Amino acid sequence: MFDFTGRTVLVTGATGALGTALSTRLARAGANTVVAARTGADQLAADLGGPSLGVRLDVTDESDWTEAIARTEARFGPLDILVNNAAYLRVGTTESIPLEEFRRVLDTNLTGALLGIRAAAPSMRRAGGGAIVNVNSIAGLAAAPGLVAYSSSKWALRGLMRAAAKELARDNIRVNAVHPGIIETPLAYGPDGTELVPVDDLAVPRRAAPEEIADFILFAASDRARFATGSEIVADGGFTLGPVA
Output the pLDDT for position 1.
Answer: 78
Say how many CA atoms lie within 13 Å of 174 toward its Cβ: 19
Q: In the chain, what are the domain boundaries? A: 8-241
Output the pLDDT for position 233.
Answer: 98
Is residue 107 classed as helix, strand or coil in its secondary structure? helix
Asked if 22 and 214 touch (Cβ cutoff 8 Å), the reply is yes
Output the pLDDT for position 98.
Answer: 98
| Fold adopted by 8-241 | Rossmann fold (3.40.50)
Output the pLDDT for position 193.
Answer: 87
Average the pLDDT over 5-28 and give the result.
Answer: 98
Amino acid at 136: N
Output the pLDDT for position 155.
Answer: 98
Element (H, E) at 52: strand 52-56
Average the pLDDT over 140-160 and give the result.
Answer: 96
Model confidence at 227: pLDDT above 80: yes
Output the pLDDT for position 197.
Answer: 80
Annotate 32-43 with three-state secondary structure: EEEEEECCCHHH
Q: What are phi and psi of 238, to 5 degrees?
A: 85, 15
Radius of gyration of the chain (CA): 17
The answer to which of 27-41, 82-96, 186-200, 218-232 has the lowest mean pLDDT is 186-200
Sign of CA dihedral 218, 53, 87, 103: negative
Distance of CA 55 to the CA centre of its chain: 16
Euclidean distance between the first and the last CA atom of the chain, given in angstroms as a whole number: 36
- For the stretch 178-197, pLDDT in tens is 999 999 988 788 788 888 78
Average the pLDDT over 18-29 and give the result.
Answer: 98
pTM of the model: 0.96
Q: What are phi and psi of 57, to 5 degrees?
A: -145, 120
Active site residue ranges: 150
Report the mean per-residue pLDDT for the chain: 96
- In the structure, what pLDDT confidence band is assigned to residue 49 with cuts at 50, 70 and 90? very high
Is residue 131 classed as helix, strand or coil in its secondary structure? strand
Amino acid at 36: A
Annotate 140-171 with three-state secondary structure: HCCCCCCEHHHHHHHHHHHHHHHHHHHHHHHH
Output the pLDDT for position 186.
Answer: 80
Output the pLDDT for position 130.
Answer: 98
Output the pLDDT for position 189.
Answer: 81
Average the pLDDT over 218-238 and give the result.
Answer: 98
- In the structure, what pLDDT confidence band is assigned to residue 163 with cuts at 50, 70 and 90? very high
Output the pLDDT for position 194.
Answer: 86
